Chains A and B, each alone.
Chain A
Amino acid sequence: MIASISWLVPRLLPEAMHIPDGFLSLRIAGMAWLLSIAALAYAVTRTNRQLREKQVPLMGVMAAFIFAAQMLNFPVAGGTSGHLIGGALAAILLGPWASMLVMTAVVLVQALLFQDGGLVAMGANILNMAVIACLVGYYVYAGAQRVLGNKARANLASAFAAAWISVFVAALSCAVQLGLSGSSPMQVALPAMGAIHTLIGVGEGLITVGTLAFITATRRDLVESRPSAK
């Protein structure tokens, strides 16, 4: 029947760096909302100017793929798991602004439909996993491309670096929010979140590189039509 016990018994678990409600002070959660809304407003105007017709379905497909991949927790050291965030992957394919909207769609649906990540904390989750992960992923990728060159294999190395660093910085941002909220002292939260995400970032890098290699092999034009941040 429809009514099962699991419907009645709350057993919420935070996923990767999806912050549940309660971990953040209202002040920090509110500030994160303001920063996220400002970034998203800018992302909307930029996407509105830049988005090519072909990228509309790509936004849907990337959001769907990232949502599905985020369900696939992989084990890392010490009985801990992690999963893809996908901000760098989306930013490499869609540019920083459209990818921010894609990641926001993922975080939004996870919070509203799956109770993964809090409602009050959603601003912080958007800030970490959509705004910061996409911006860091995009600029590290663009910077690494300038150093390593725009060749197929160099691009995959750039993508790995972008993915790894985007997760690391997003995790540090999450730790800062926890620290400022008084949930965990900064000098504890920062190294703890940083250390575990150096490992989770390797998984992020491998999945990002694998996905990009697949898309490059099958639909090179999608990889090359990415809008710039300028």
Chain B
Amino acid sequence: MRSKRWWIVGLIIALGLTVISPLASGWPDGLERVAEDQGFIELQAESFYEIIPDYVLPGVSSEALATVLAGIVGVLVVFGVALGAGYALRGQWTEGETQ
């Protein structure tokens, strides 16, 4: 963990979490529960397109596997977007500069 490649370990941990995602609770979550109880859930508009709806990768027959694969895709894309944002914004800061 002391190496400069510690972030690879972090990424592997995030990817590892997706393996247990099929075990996640399928109960309605906080907002969904309130929307159902208060009767405004039907206001929800359908999306006009879908890529990976409901965190289940389309075309995979095993729902558990499809969920893990959706998670892996998401982890890698989110990692890339945030890393790219950080990379684009780095560098202005130099050692010893006051903030």
Contact = CB atoms under 8 A, between A and B. Distances in A.
Nearest to A71: B21
Contacts of A114: 51-55, 70, 74
B58 to A, nearest CB: 4
Given A59-B86, A68-B14, A10 B75 contact: no
A81 B25 contact: yes
A41 interface: no
Interface string A11-51: 11111111111110000000000000000000010011111
B65 to A, nearest CB: 13
A106 B78 contact: yes
A214 B65 CA distance: 28
A200 B86 contact: no
Contacts of B74: 67-68, 71, 109-110, 113-114
Interface string B1-34: 1000011001101110110110111111111111
Contacts of B1: 218-219
A47 B33 contact: no
B4 to A, nearest CB: 9
A147 interface: no
Given A21-B47, A72-B21, A193 B81 contact: no
Interface size of A as a range: 35 or more
Nearest to B60: A4
Contacts of A51: 86, 89-90, 92-93
Interface string A55-76: 1111111111111110111111
Contacts of B24: 71-74, 81, 83
Contact of B79 (A13, A15, A17, A63): A63
Given A10-B50, A56-B86, A64 B30 contact: no
Contacts of B31: 14, 16-19, 174, 193
A63 B82 contact: yes
B16 to A, nearest CB: 8
A221 to B, nearest CB: 10
A66 B51 CA distance: 20
Contacts of B49: 115
A62 B24 CA distance: 20
B82 A102 contact: yes
A66 to B, nearest CB: 8
B44 A69 contact: no
Contacts of A106: 78, 82
Contacts of A219: 1, 6
Interface in A110-158: 110, 112-116, 118-119
Given A67-B14, A114-B55, A20 B29 contact: no
Interface in A162-213: 171, 174, 178, 183-184, 188-189, 192-193, 196-197, 200
